[in-house]
Every structure is written in structure tokens, then in C-alpha cells.
Amino acid sequence: MADLRSEFVGIKSPNPFWLASAPPTDKEYNVRRAYEAGWGGVVWKTLGSEGPPVVNVSGPRYGVIYGADRRVLGINNIELITDRPLEVNLREIKSVKRDYPDRALVVSLMVPCDEASWKAILPLVEETGADGVELNFGCPHGMAERGMGSAVGQVPEYIEMVTRWVKQNTRMPCIVKLTPNITDVRKPAEAAKRGGADAVSLINTINSITSVNLDDFAPEPMIDGMGTHGGYCGPAVKPIALNMVAEIARNAETAGLPISGIGGVTTWRDAAEFMALGAGNVQVCTAAMTYGFKVVQEMISGLSEYMDRKGMVSTSEIVGRAVPKVTDWQYLNLNYVTKAVINQDDCIKCGRCYAACEDTSHQAIAMDEDRTFTVKDEECVACNLCVDVCPVDCITMRELAKGETDPRTGREVGDYANWTTHPNNPSSASFCGLRPAE
């Protein structure tokens, strides 16, 4: 049987599924219910320093993007960090950790960007018995306007500075949560590592406006006729998150830096994909907000069954397995050629492949009078669009063997034998029309 027990930067949990710092982890009641449902860990909703209270809006806090079946694809959130008193949160954290010593409990923190503020709050968190802290350098709304959240996360020098302050003032593991609202996510990750971070977590929410009310002409969610940008999360952000996790995992400057993967994890398969690209565990928010805490039970059983099928006994066998196969475009193999093939027995003759290819691709599918659809190999570039739009999965791609002639180009497969003259080679004089550097 697969063993889902996880150890992330020395923090042990019965499985790699943690709840992310968000509304579901705002109080003791929620966290206890989460642990009882089976979550391996929780990152407590972001705490701020003692001082002027945080005041959240009392109107709508979430906007949403739906799929055609009204499935939630993404949520826009304008809620700030916790508005509950610091001492109440600390008391509840201590109580929960005492009663669930085998579950991970990490505390998310966001305080003003000065050493005194960080030095003041860290001992208070440490006294609760929490397993670690996560530095919230990602929140794109509300707190960023106050010089915190993504306002710090977008400046690598600030990340390095604050991380160093934290590491100098606590024994607890320090996870730095990164913002995706930046051009190159590798730079803040490198800064976190230089500052001594034990790990990074990503992605935090994406700055967004999800919709506009066309009666009142204001962004939604709408507060007294006005709207604002917020943080976008959910299944729709998963591709962005996967890419950013992979960029850090394959970057020489951050190689070996533990990663907690966040961004649209809804199923065990999502989690396994994050782990294959280098994440040691995953954090979940939108799935729990959409389906409730018990969604983790399907994640646990699904990942366990997958690992059993693969003969894996530990989640560590998944972590990073796909990283060596992530490359830059110019290194892709042009000797690999495929053609679409339509299984006529399974085809329902809907014509979606034909319409998509004829109107928007390479006119590589023919339609007979009886609505039989066939592939024109001499036109097919193997773009995969027909496979993607087929509702019954009756189209596959056949790989051409080495030496076989591609009807479209008239070139034998394997013709690009010399990499030094390959048009994809960055050192080739023809690459991007530029001559290579001397």
C-alpha cells in the first residue's frame, strides 16, 4: 500500500494535502473540521501585527468565473487578511496544535516591512507550538496598497531582506509565499533562497477583475456601486501555477529549494502533476470552498490508488520526476512527426473536428457526402486541435517512423540529423533571424 505520509522542510503530516492560507483556515472551528475530514496540514489565514484593526468589506467578497455547466473555474477574492484580534488567533492556534500534534500547522504572516514588526510577532507565533511560518508576499489587493503582500513580493531585494530578518529571529521553518504578478518568478525565488528561506510556496492569487456589471457599469463583486481588483484562484490558474513551479524547480540557482505547490488543485491528479514538476506537497483553497472539506478524501484515495498502480510506496518517488523533461522550445525534436488518425468505429459524425480544422487550422480534414471525416496527411501539421475538440475521444496521433516520408513536407523523418544546422538551435545563424554572439 502506498504511504502518503509527508515531510516538508522537517514538518510532518499524514498526507501531502494542506489547506492554503485563505478563508477556510480563518478560525479554530474551520481548522478542526478540516483535520477531522482528513487534511494533512493547514496554513492558518494570514495574521497581521498588533495595531489598527483590519476592516474587511461587509458586502460581496467573491466574484466567479463559471464553465458552461456552471462549474466554478475561478474565484476572485477581495477579502483582506484576518480581521480577528491577534491574541484570539494565537490562542486558537495553540489549542488546535495541542489537540492535533500529528497534523501540520503553519501560520501565514504579513506585517509592515520593518524588522521591529517581524521581530515582535515571531515569538508570539513560536509560543503557540506552530510548526512553521509562511511569509505572505503575494496578496495583490488591499494590503499591497499598504506596502505589504505583493508590494514586497515584487521586489526581490525586499524578499531577501525580510526573509533574513525572519530567519534571524525564529527557530521555525520559514516558507516564502510568492506572487505570480511578476515577469520572472525565478528572481523572487532566488532572493528567498539568498535570505535563507527553507522553502517557497506558489502561486499566490493573480491580480484580476473577473467581470463587469453591465447594468451598473462597475466591476464585480460590487460594493455600493464600486468595484476593485482582487486575487484570482481556482482551476483556471493551474496552468500558470504549474509553469511557475517548473521554472523554479529547473532553475540552477534554486535547484533543491523545496516547493509547496498552489494553484487550482482540485483532484489527486492535479496534486500529482504539481509534485511531478517539483512540489514536495500541495496547498488547496478553491476546491474546499467549492465542494467542502471532504473533497480531500477523494484526493487521498485517488493518489493512493495511482501510486499502487505505479508500484510507488512514497510520495517522494513522484516529486520532480517530470522536471528533466521540461525544456525550452528551441530544444524540441523536429525529427518527431505525427499525423492525426480518426477511428471511424467511434466517430459520431458531429463534425467538430472538421469545422475547427477547416475554419481555424490547416484544412487537413475532409468531409464526404455521408459525413465521414478523414485526415488529409499532406495538409496535417499535427497541431492536435482535432483531438482537443473531439467530444468522444476518437482521434489519436500516429508517430511516423524514422525514414518514412512526411506527405506534407516531402522530407524523410529524421532529416534534421545535424543539430548544429538545426533551425531550432539557438547557436544557429538562422535562429530568430539573428547571428549568434561571438
Q: How many helices (H) and strands (E) does the chain have?
A: 12, 20
CA angle at residue 80 from 78 to 85, to 5 degrees? Answer: 150
Enumerate the β-bridge partners of residue 189: none
The answer on pLDDT for 316 being more than 50 is: yes
Q: Report the catalytic residues.
A: 139
Largest CA distance in the chain: 78
Distances (CA, A) of 279 to 66, 138, 245: 28, 18, 7
pLDDT at 301: 97
- Position 266, amino acid: T
Beta strands in 249-407 (DSSP E): 259-262, 279-284, 338-342, 365-367, 373-375, 395-399
Say how many CA atoms lie within 13 Å of 401 toward its Cβ. Answer: 2
pLDDT at 43: 98
The answer on pLDDT for 431 being more than 80 is: no
Q: What percent of the chain has pLDDT over 90?
A: 76
pLDDT at 9: 98
pLDDT digits (tens, 9 = 90+) for 18-54: 999 999 999 999 999 999 999 999 999 999 887 777 8
Quick one: which of 303, 307, 259, 312 has its CA closest to 283?
Answer: 259
Q: What percent of the chain has pLDDT over 70?
A: 92
pLDDT digits (tens, 9 = 90+) for 80-106: 788 899 999 999 999 999 999 999 999
pLDDT digits (tens, 9 = 90+) for 128-181: 999 999 999 867 665 655 666 677 878 899 999 999 999 999 999 999 999 999
Q: Domains along the chain? A: 6-325 (3.20.20.70), 329-433 (3.30.70.20)
- How would you class 11 by CB atoms within 10 Å of its CB: exposed for 0-12, middle for 13-18, buried for 19 or more? buried
Other beta carbons within 10 Å of 359: 8
Q: Are 307 and 231 in contact (CB under 8 A)?
A: no
For the chain, give the mean pLDDT.
91
pLDDT at 438: 39
